[in-house]
Amino acid sequence: MQPNSDPHKSTARKTGQRLYLAFALLIVLALLATVVTSRSWFGTSQSGLNEATTGASATTIPSAAIAASSTSSTRATSGVVQTASSTPLVYMGDPLAPQPPPARVDPASRYYTETGHYLSGDFLSYYDNTPKSETLLGLPLTEAFPEQFPGGTLYQVQYFERGRLEYHPESAQRIQLGLLASAMLKGRTFGPLPTLADTKTRLYFPQTGHTISNGFLNYWKANGGLTTFGYPLSEEMGEDGLTVQYFERARFEYHQDLEGTPYAVQLSPVGYTALYAERFNIPMGTLVQLDPPSVAEGHTTEIEVAATAGVTVTGQYEGRELFFKYDPARGVAWSLIGTVPFADTGARQVTISLKNGDGGQRTVSRNLEVDSYPFPSESLQFDPATATLLDPAITSKELKMLNGIFAGRTPEQYWSGPFSMPLNGQIRITSYFATRRCYNCPDGSTPTTYHGGMDMAASIGTPVRAPADGKVVFAGALSDRGNTIILDHGLGVYSLMGHNSKLIATVGQMVRKGDVISLSGNSGLSTGPHLHWELHVSGPPVEPREWVARSLP
């Protein structure tokens, strides 16, 4: 760390300078203390990374880098933090308190609007020179500040969502990753297995007596192995409804419903959990997670923010209201985001506002990366009589009425688990969701719109079933969608079934997954008998098959 190289401009500059001055003073005092007690400064090296990188010679697990009990009592306070001994100030202010943005751009320092923290100097260089650091570490949750480690040594550290950077002036490897998984283990240890032979899909580590297998092994190898994650401290196990495994610096999570995507294996927020375990005063809205972390256009992602009971959480995505539901079991408020096909690609902002009962409030933002998706294209030909229904005066009036319904946010969640297809038996999809369309255009024309639903072939009179529990909020004839029935599944999730020949369920009725709600037909703007299923999430229509394939949230 180069203490004087990167002072932030504006208000943050003063804070940073005080911090570094205080830190420098502390280093001097710590050195004196070290000499007095005849302990070696270098002997306190945090052993994890070094042992990991030297490989087979290491035989023991380094003791936890965090001793919550020895230091936690000094950390819960904001403002001046002091150590328990006679050591003077170590940090002016609260390292977790969000900082104001810089008055002007400083290339030696990066400000994260999302969390209100700066990343500077050597930590910034490390972050920028480490592949996939955004995935592996996430956003900074603190400023850089000196923290006392077991043994009394002070290290400059900075916490991130999924890790902690440490500056070790005594070591050849000056920037090291903290051994944070211990905070999540809460004192648990898992005994070693007897020696096992390595196979193509399993490695055994005599250093800890644990194995890494299959998908976790692939992820471990692909993202830096020992240097990044350290040795396994457990086998795979079930926790929080997921398969997880502990490593020295990480906790792997297997998200089965995201198998086949880059997000089947995700990292737990061990940096945040360590701050929590050390009883830091954590500002509201510090931990926000997106699952999956990025989403394809026309698909659904879940956003969750760590919150306590009594905190009111509201949010917006692209100007649309997000309804947050509090889950006491997980300690989070969560919402679902549907992204608009052909419109929402790129980085899109989500804002979350939190209010507690004491009048405290905070608004945070996150960028949701929306990837493009290869939706198909088609041209549809209508006879002249049917084509009159394409008149914008007709289509926009119908859309306006429907958008009024889809803007609703019923606070109950009626559905649970994956949705089912609305037709029994073998299903033939005749037009996929979000197919780019051009109506009555020559083949090869540029699409002008997209299909907001998914079409399934169905002879007239085929029973149409509720894909999930819900309440009927509309049943009637529409110009384009024909005889239409709409189910409110709660929390801003709606199903629309169009082109029916007969409507069976009635407005206000609660229906269960699988109940027959209508009979399919060919009414409205339709080129043949079929069922049109639209699924709306927090406003826009999304790919319904994703909701059949996996359980949301």
With respect to Zn ion, which residue has the nearer C-beta, 162 or 451? 451
- 3-state secondary structure at position 397: helix
Closest CA to 420 of 373, 458, 470, 379: 470
Other CB atoms within 10 Å distance of the CB of residue 187: 8
Task: Give the residue, chosen from 532, 537, 539, 547, that forms a contact with Zn ion under the rule CB under 5 A.
Answer: 532
Q: Work out how close the CB of 380 gets to Zn ion at its nearest, in angstroms, rounded to a whole number.
A: 10
- Per DSSP, 199 falls in state B
Q: Work out how close the CB of 492 gets to Zn ion at its nearest, in angstroms, rounded to a whole number.
A: 22
Q: How far apart are CA 161 and CA 271, in angstroms?
A: 5
Q: How far apart are CA 213 and CA 299, in angstroms?
A: 31
Is residue 283 at the binding interface for Zn ion, with CB under 5 A as the rule?
A: no
* Residue 364 contacts residue 352 (beta carbons within 8 Å): yes
Q: How far apart are CA 54 and CA 52, in angstroms?
A: 6
With respect to Zn ion, which residue has the nearer C-beta, 318 or 455? 455
Q: Which of the ranges 303-311, 354-362, 376-384, 527-535 carries the binding residues for Zn ion, by CB under 5 A?
A: 527-535
* Residue 94 contacts residue 78 (beta carbons within 8 Å): yes
Q: Work out how close the CB of 374 gets to Zn ion at its nearest, in angstroms, rounded to a whole number.
A: 19
Is residue 75 at the binding interface for Zn ion, with CB under 5 A as the rule?
A: no
Is residue 481 at the binding interface for Zn ion, with CB under 5 A as the rule?
A: no
Burial class (CB in 10 A: 0-12, 13-18, 19+), 134: middle
Q: Work out how close the CB of 49 gets to Zn ion at its nearest, in angstroms, rounded to a whole number.
A: 56
Q: How many amino acids of this chain bind Zn ion (CB under 5 A)?
A: 3
- Tokens standing for residue 382: 């209508």
Q: Work out how close the CB of 404 gets to Zn ion at its nearest, in angstroms, rounded to a whole number.
A: 21
Cβ neighbors of 107 (< 8 A, separation 6 or more) are none
* Residue 337 contacts residue 297 (beta carbons within 8 Å): no
With respect to Zn ion, which residue has the nearer C-beta, 199 or 403? 403
Q: Which of the ranges 6-14, 328-336, 361-369, 531-539 carries the binding residues for Zn ion, by CB under 5 A?
A: 531-539
The alpha carbon of residue 524 and the mean position of all alpha carbons in its chain are separated, in whole angstroms, by 40
Q: Work out how close the CB of 451 gets to Zn ion at its nearest, in angstroms, rounded to a whole number.
A: 6
With respect to Zn ion, which residue has the nearer C-beta, 178 or 498? 498
With respect to Zn ion, which residue has the nearer C-beta, 304 or 534? 534
Q: Work out how close the CB of 435 gets to Zn ion at its nearest, in angstroms, rounded to a whole number.
A: 9
With respect to Zn ion, which residue has the nearer C-beta, 453 or 553? 453
Matching residue, tokens 């809205």: 285
Q: Which of the ranges 181-189, 221-229, 266-274, 532-540 carries the binding residues for Zn ion, by CB under 5 A?
A: 532-540
With respect to Zn ion, which residue has the nearer C-beta, 465 or 532? 532
In the complex, residue closest to Zn ion by CB:
532
Matching residue, tokens 């609660």: 510
Matching residue, tokens 């997954």: 513
Q: How far apart are CA 99 and CA 141, in angstroms?
A: 11
Residues forming beta bridges with residue 531, ordered by sequence position: 456
Q: Work out how close the CB of 376 gets to Zn ion at its nearest, in angstroms, rounded to a whole number.
A: 13
Q: Work out how close the CB of 525 gets to Zn ion at its nearest, in angstroms, rounded to a whole number.
A: 9
Task: Give the residue, chosen from 248, 278, 304, 455, that forms a contact with Zn ion under the rule CB under 5 A.
Answer: 455
With respect to Zn ion, which residue has the nearer C-beta, 297 or 455? 455
Closest CA to 354 of 446, 441, 288: 288
Task: Give the residue, chosen from 121, 453, 470, 492, that forms a contact with Zn ion under the rule CB under 5 A.
Answer: 453
Q: Which of the ranges 6-14, 39-47, 206-214, 452-460 carries the binding residues for Zn ion, by CB under 5 A?
A: 452-460
Q: Note the residues at the interface with Zn ion (CB under 5 A).
A: 453, 455, 532
